[in-house]
Structure 1
Amino acid sequence: MKQIVLATASAFILAMAACSGPAGNEGANSETDAPETDTGATDAVVAPETASEEGVDALQLIKLDCGSIYVSDLDIFSTAGDYAGQSDTFTDTCWLIRHPEGDLLWDLGLPGILTTQDEQTTGVFTVSLEKTIAEQLAERDLSMSDIEYVSISHSHFDHSGQVDLIDGSTWLVNQLEYDHMFPEPDVSEEAPAEDAETEGGADAGSQFPGFEVLQHEIILDNHDVFGDGSVIIFMTPGHTPGHAALLVNLPETGPVMLTGDLYHRTESRELKRVPQFNTSEADTLASMEAFEDRAAELGAKVIIQHEPDDTDDLPEVMR
C-alpha cells in the first residue's frame, strides 16, 4: 500500500512540474536544525482587523480551500489495520497568515491544473479543486507577488501542488525536509555523477523542480517567522523526516495550532493512528506526544487540516 501513496504523489508532482512558473534566485542559509526552547507563547499579538491595500494592522489567520480528497480505502492511514474497508473525504486546506510585517502562505494544496479538469482518480485517491490559491487571493485584492513567505508542512502532493504559482516569495524550510526533497545522488562507477542542470537551474531528475528554483531559507526548529512570537513553525517529524506544524497566536481565540499531516482525522488524533506510509512510526508517535503537551500547555485550539469538522464553521477571526 505504501507504493500506492508514493506513486500517487509522484504522478501529481510530475503534473505540477509540467506547469511550473517563474523561478527566483536560490539562496540557502547554512544553519542546520537544532531544537530550541521557545514555546511560541506571546503577549504581543493584537486582534485581527480589516486588511488594507498596504497590508494589515494586526494578525489574521485566513483559511483557503485547496481541494477535496476522497479516499476509497483508508487502510493505509493506520498501521493498526483498523481502517481497512472504510472510506472518507478529506478537505485540503491552506492558510494565509497576514501580519503587519508581511504575509505567510502555509501549505500549497493540490495542483492548480485540477481546476480545469474533472475529478481525477489514482489508486485510492480521487481529487478535485475548484479555485487556485491565486484566485482566492485575488478575491481579497491580493496577488501571489504580495506574499513574502511560503512554507509547507511537508512535501506530499496535496501540500505542495501549487508551487508553480509562487512569485518572489521566500520558501522557509528546515534542513531535514529539504534534504528529503533533494537527496544527494548515489554516485558509483556504474552510475557516475552527471551535470543534470536545466536552463532554469533545476535538477532534471528532481521530483520537486518547482521548489528547487525558489529562493529559500533554511530554518531551525521553533522558527519565529516575524520575530515577535506570533507565528511559529515547529518540527513534528515522522510523517516525513522534516514534517512541521504551525502555531498562530490569536488573542480572540487563544493560540491556534495547525497540524499539517501529523493527524488526518479526529479519530487519528484520539487513537494516535499512524499512516503506513509515514517515514517513521516512532518519530510520529513522539511528535504527537510533544504536540499534545504543547497544545495543553498553551490551551491551544487544534485544527486538523484535513478534517472538515475542524476546518468548517470557524470563528470569524479565523475567516
Structure 2
Amino acid sequence: MKKLGLISFMAVAACSGGETENESAAASSAAADIKAYVLDCGRIEMNDLSFFALEDEYAGRTNSASDMCVLVRHPDGDLMWDAGLPMALNEMEDGLTNGPFHLSVPTTISEQFDAIGVSVDDIDYFSVSHSHFDHIGNGNMFAGATFLVDSDERAHMFREEARADAQSFANYNELENAETVEFDGDHDVFGDGSVVILAMPGHTPGHTSLLVNLANEGPVMFTGDLYHLNESRERRLMPKFNVDVEQTYASMDRFEQLAEEKNARVVVQHSLSDFEALPKVPEYLD
C-alpha cells in the first residue's frame, strides 16, 4: 500500500533482575517530581480488523483506535516517547484512507506542546516503541534530542527496504545522524529506575514498552504495540504482520509478569477507551 509519507502498517525479551532496596528507593524519590503527559497523536480507523489476529478472531470487524504519545518530564530531563502519525495529516480535513486504514490527526504535537509550555528544543531524549509509521511519523521533529533506541530496531528502521520507501523514510531519516544511545535489553533512561524502556521484541525486532513510576499514580506501563486492543491483551492475540510470533508470546508473558509484580496500570496505546480515561493536556499523570 502506498501512503503519503507513511510506513506500511505491515511493515525473549531481555530479562532484568529484581530491584534492590536502593534502586527502589531511588525510583520512589525521583517519582515525586515526574509528570507524564499523554498526547493525542492521531486516530486510526481499522476498517478491516482481521489483520490484527493470526486466525479469524477479528474477521468482519472494525475498530476505532487512538494513537498515543507520551512526554515524561523528569528532574534530569524530558523524554518524548513515540511520535505519532505525521502532523501533515492535520491539514487534511477528511483525513487519509489507505487500504484498511483511515488516518487523521485532530490536533498536532506542536499545539499540545504549546498548551504544556514546552518546545521541541526542551526535549532531551527521544525514543519509539518501534518504527512503524504511526509511532515515528514525526521522528525528524526530535532529531535534536538524544535518540534512545534498541540496536535491533535501529537496524530495522535503517535497512535498505525501509530506505526504499522514500516518502516514509523522510519522516525520520534525520534520526540516523542524531546523537544516539543504542541498547540491548532494558534501558533505564535516567539511571534511577523511575523511567525504564522495556525490551518487548516480536512485533518488530526491537519493539519496546515503557514503564514510568509515578508518585501518585504508581507504576504505569505503556504497551507500544505489544497489544493493539484491550481484547488482544485478554485473548493474547497478535497481528499477522508481527515479525516473530514466539518472541511476541514471550514478551507478553514478561510484560504481564512485570505488570502483576508492580501492580501497574497498563495503558494500551491504541485503545481509545484507555486514552479517554487518561488526563488530557495540559493535565498529566503524576
Contact 2:7 2:165 in 1 (8 A): no
- Of 59, 62, 74 in structure 2, the residue corresponding to residue 87 of structure 1 is 62
- The equivalent residue for 2:25 is 43
Is 1:132 the counterpart of 2:132? The answer is no
In the TM superposition, residue 132 of structure 1 has moved relative to its aligned partner by: 1.9
Q: Which runs of 5+ in 2 are unaligned?
A: none
- In the alignment, is residue 142 of structure 1 matched against residue 118 of structure 2? yes
**Residues 8 and 252 of structure 1: is their aligned pair in 2 closer, same or farther, counting only changes over 3 Å?**
farther
Cα distance change of structure 1 residues 209 and 83 upon mapping to structure 2, 3 Å threshold: same
Name the SS of the counterpart of 1:240 in structure 2. Answer: coil
Contact 2:219 2:263 in 1 (8 A): yes
- What's the TM-score once normalised by structure 1's chain length? 0.78
Q: Which amino acid aligns with 1:271?
A: R
Q: Is the 8 A contact 2:85 2:138 kept in 1?
A: yes
Q: How does 1:46-57 map to 2 (within 5 A)?
A: 46=29
- Aligned with 1:154: secondary structure? coil
Instruction: Tell me if the contact between 2:210 and 2:221 (Cα under 8 Å) persists in the aligned partners.
Output: yes
Is residue 2:248 matched to residue 1:284?
A: yes
2:52·2:239 contact (CA, 8 Å) conserved in 1?
yes
C-alpha spacing 1:305/1:314, structure 2 compared with 1 (3 Å): same
User: Tell me, what secondary structure is at the counterpart of 2:24?
Assistant: coil
The 1:35–1:271 alpha-carbon spacing in structure 2 relative to 1, beyond 3 Å, is closer
Give the aligned partner of residue 78 of structure 2: 103
Residue number in structure 2 paired with 1:270: 234
Residue 318 of structure 1 corresponds to which residue in structure 2? 285
* 1:260/1:305 contact within 8 Å kept: yes
Residues 220 and 153 (structure 1 numbering): CA distance in 2 closer, same or farther, change over 3 Å? same
Equivalent residues, number: 270
Change (3 A) 1:88 1:168: same
| Residue 98 (structure 2) pairs with residue 116 (structure 1) | no
Q: Please say which of residues 162-171 and 229-238 is displaced more in the overlay.
A: 162-171
CA distance in 2: counterparts of 1:272 and 1:241, whole angstroms: 19
Give the Cα separation in 1 of the matches to 2:95 and 2:233. 28
Aligned to 1:168: 144
Q: If each structure's helix is expressed as a fraction of its own residues, which one has the higher value? A: 2
| Change in CA separation of 1:167 and 1:180 when aligned onto 2, cut-off 3 Å | closer
Deviation at 1:218, TM superposition (A): 0.5
1:89 CA displacement: 0.5
Aligned to 1:73: 48
Aligned to 1:3: none
Counterpart residue number, 1:51: none
* Matched-pair contact (CA < 8 Å) for 2:49–2:58: yes
The separation in 1 between residues aligned to 2:118 and 2:129, in whole angstroms, is: 23
2:266 maps to which residue? 302
How far off is 1:214 after superposition? 2.2
Q: Deviations over 1:90-128 (max 9, x none)?
A: 000000000000000000000011111131000000000
TM-score by length of 2: 0.87
Identity fraction in percent: 43
Work out whether residues 3 and 98 of structure 2, in 8 Å CA contact, stay in contact via their aligned partners in 1: no
Which runs of no fewer than 5 residues in structure 1 stay unpaired? 1-6, 15-32, 49-56, 187-202
The Cα of 1:37 is off from its aligned counterpart by 2.5
Report the RMSD for the aligned CA atoms in angstroms. Answer: 2.5
Structure 1 position 295, deviation (Å): 0.6
Pairwise mapping of residues 116-265 of structure 1 onto structure 2 (< 5 A)?
Answer: 116-117=91-92, 118-166=94-142, 168-183=144-159, 207=169, 208-265=172-229
